A and B are shown apart, each in its own frame.
Chain A
Amino acid sequence: MSKTEMTSTIPVKNKSLKIKTKKSTVWISVTSVILFLISWELISYYKLINPLFISSPIKIVEAATTLFADPRYWQHLGVSAYEFSLGFILAMAIGIPIGIFAGWNRIFNSIISPFVSALYVTPKVALLPIIIIAFGIGAASKIVVVFLMAFFPIVMSAQKAMSTLDQNLIKAARSFTASEFQIFKTIALPSTVPFLLNGIRLGLGQGLIAIVVGEMYASTAGIGYHLTHAGQNLKTAEMFVGVVVIAVSGVILTGIIGLIEKRFSSWKPE
């Protein structure tokens, strides 16, 4: 009796300790951000650095209030959101099957591997001049760039996932007369989920870079366009609003992936 009691109290104690440390670290993070914003404001206020370069938190909030009240700014956001989501969905819809198939079939893998490995490390934005010529300065060229940037991390992760399958599981499945398709469905696909989500997370970051750079380079609308325009007209605060919007979108999208990950890996040890 006393033995079981002891063993059951130990983990509980540990848990409460963990929660405590988590709470206190959250406070440390919040404090550090607040201190950063205050020093930024003060440095700007006392002109220790030229406010033209760094604006100030209060001015950025003011600029944001006016921008968000302006329907034209929402149009810019809408254009970027449209280009990004379409490019990214295409990257997933094409990249995931290709990556999985490459991991499953050796011949197909040998065909595409050299291209995937080479293009994975190439900054795809370097292709922008040609993409603009081919697809124009409208939405199409941005969709293509987002697609290209997000596509390769997704393909690579799917490929990797398939190459790390547990051979013991496959052997067990075969002993129960499993077909190739059954092995694919019950072992290969579920094994890829964590890798895929990781690839999608990497792809997200790349896609966000693509959309901003694409719009900066040549466009007539979108958040990257607005951001460049604001910068060129010395409206530093407005430019920072754009930067914050992109950063927040990135954090939200990564958060959504984190939630999906949690949902799919509920079986995993902590």
Chain B
Amino acid sequence: MKDTQSLPKLQSQFLDVTYMNHKTGQEVTALKNINLSIQEGEFICIVGPSGCGKTTFLNTVIGFIEPSNGSILLDNKKIVGPGKDRSMVFQSPSLLPWRNVMDNVLYGVELQKRLSPDTRELAKTYIEMVGLKGFESHYPHELSGGMQQRVNLARALTVEPSLLLLDEPFSALDAQTREFMQQELVRIWSETKKTSIFITHQIDEAVFLADRVFVFGARPGHLVEDISIDLVRPRELKIKREPHFLQYVDRIWQLIENESAKQGFA
């Protein structure tokens, strides 16, 4: 990458995650020897077949899961639990149904005991950035799925994390809304330049959004390849039809197919 000398934003060193499957009583290795590093301001997408441990990886970064071996360093500090320097956009909107948009967006800073006129201003800024200006006093049930995910995103941004995690945030949306939200995320990201890790199982989504795509393989979850996406920014949806874009998609497809073949699925 460009700044190989500077300290990486996030480093995963010899990371193993194992857990007990309580049904079978057996130990399962979800992640095996993950070594990777992410630079400040990068947008990373992780793709891979189901069972490749991509969600486990994200849950370890947010601090829900403790590594069995190795460690993850954020700004050179070991992650030991959830922290104010990270926030997550969840697959389901996870909004408090009895709170309106404004109060839901403020929920994160409220839990971090940082409610102030400043953070309120910040919430307004991000509500506007995600395109929900005028909806501040609406309740979640009055919003469409796409709008709920915008609230989910604004809430995560309002705590001003130094690392933003996104766990398949568009997977429950219909195809058109999904494409539209991808474009919106590209725009929002270009305004905030937040270091982000985005998990998805849709390859074109990963290529469209990412500076680098990490392809994970399954059983146990491991890093197969780290692919830099050299497509100009700002990106628009029409690049999805360009040959250069499709080459990336094909290549990642190949990798995942090979992985699946190793597992005996393909």
Assign chain A's interface to a size class: 10 to 19
Would you give the shortest CB distance from A169 to chain B, in whole angstroms? 6
Q: Which A residues touch B141, using CB under 8 A?
A: 267-269
Would you give the shortest CB distance from A67 to chain B, in whole angstroms? 46
Q: Are B111 and A168 in contact (CB under 8 A)?
A: no
Would you give the shortest CB distance from B221 to chain A, in whole angstroms? 20
- Chief secondary structure at chain B's binding surface: loop
Distance A255 CA – B141 CA, assembled complex (angstroms): 26
Q: Does A177 contact B (CB under 8 A)?
A: yes
Would you give the shortest CB distance from A69 to chain B, in whole angstroms? 48
Q: Which B residues touch A174, using CB under 8 A?
A: 64, 82
Would you give the shortest CB distance from A223 to chain B, in whole angstroms? 39
Q: Which B residues touch A269, using CB under 8 A?
A: 141-142
Distance A269 CA – B94 CA, assembled complex (angstroms): 17
CB interface residues, A 157-182, toward B, < 8 Å: 166, 168-169, 171-178, 182
CB interface residues, A 238-265, toward B, < 8 Å: 265
Would you give the shortest CB distance from A241 to chain B, in whole angstroms? 43
Assign chain B's interface to a size class: 20 to 34
Report the nearest A residue to B91, measured CB to CB.
A168
Distance A269 CA – B41 CA, assembled complex (angstroms): 40
Q: Are B97 and A177 in contact (CB under 8 A)?
A: no
Instruction: Identify 6 new A-B residue pairs, CB closer than 8 A, beyond the known A168-B92, A186-B110.
Output: A175-B90, A176-B82, A176-B159, A177-B84, A178-B111, A267-B99
Q: Which residues of A contact B (CB under 8 A)?
A: 166, 168-169, 171-178, 182, 186-187, 190, 265, 267-269
25 CB-based A-B contacts, threshold 8 Å: A166-B94, A168-B94, A169-B96, A171-B64, A171-B94, A172-B107, A173-B111, A176-B82, A176-B107, A176-B108, A176-B111, A177-B83, A177-B111, A177-B112, A186-B110, A186-B111, A187-B96, A190-B96, A267-B98, A267-B100, A267-B139, A267-B141, A268-B141, A269-B141, A269-B142
